[in-house]
Amino acid sequence: MKILVVEDDPKLSGFIQKGLAAEGLIVDLCSDGDEGYVLATTLDYDAIVLDIMLPGRDGLSILRNLRDKSIDTPLILLTARSSLNERLDGLKLGADDYLTKPFYVEELAARIHAVTRRGGSQALSLLSNGSVSINPVTREVRNGEELVELSAREFSLLAFLMRSPGRVFSRAQICEHVWQYHFDPSTNIVDVYVQKLRKKLGEEGSAVIETVRGVGYRARGDER
């Protein structure tokens, strides 16, 4: 799943990103309310984690505007306050859940999975391309009827490509989204993982991942 985290504390946001990545989630970080609102309204996310106190737009204003635009992406509020009124205001505006700081990142991950299951978001939809299908909630991958065992990183890579069939991603883009660090031109980590995926998916399933010479990789564009 792809998650937007809007949090202005760099130490906390880094902690969240590292913890959610360990759970196999792809995380976009943002520290400003205005930028976070733009990302939330222009890109597709399976869930949004939103701090209430932010520079620029505050979290409750972002939440209100998203719901006014009928953007129903599951959303979890983060707050350092324990005020009942603030929590109630967030839930009345359409928040799916909230966490009071400090919290364990494992609890945040569990709540993300809970709100996406409950909310019927994009995360509940099977991704399929050719003979390969992915269930983002159960993290099951199948080639036809055969269950394919993937590591967390292999799963994230395959899901990232299959979410945008036909779109070409450079190795740098893949590294940033799947590994959450800047691409080192001297590394072949993306190519190694693509080879691993193709081997596990077999001859028919491996055709889902196409090499675009001199650019990078894509999931083929005949998604069904």
Each residue's pLDDT, cut to its tens digit, for the chain (224 residues) gives 889 999 999 999 999 998 898 888 889 999 999 999 999 998 889 999 999 989 999 999 999 999 998 888 999 999 876 666 667 788 888 888 888 888 889 899 988 988 887 654 444 467 889 899 988 767 789 999 899 999 888 988 998 898 888 889 998 888 877 876 666 777 889 999 999 999 999 988 899 999 999 899 999 885 44
Nearest to 131 by CA among 38, 219, 46, 41: 219
Q: Which residue segment(s) compose the domain that 71 sits in?
A: 2-122
What total number of domains does the chain contain? 2
Rounded CA-CA distance 216/93 in Å is 42
Could you say which of 76, 97, 122 is where a domain stops?
A: 122
Residues 113 and 134 in one domain: no
Residues 108 and 185 in one domain: no
Residues 7 and 118 in one domain: yes
pTM of the model: 0.58
Residues 118 and 143 in one domain: no
Could you say which of 66, 87, 122 is where a domain stops?
A: 122
Assign residue 199 the CATH number of its domain: 1.10.10.10
Residues 88 and 172 in one domain: no
Could you say which of 90, 122, 154 is where a domain stops?
A: 122
Residues 111 and 185 in one domain: no
Please give the DSSP secondary-structure letter assigned to residue 178.
I
Q: Does residue 179 lie within any of the structural domains?
A: yes
Residues 39 and 113 in one domain: yes
Give the per-residue SS3 of 181-194. CCCCCCCCHHHHHH
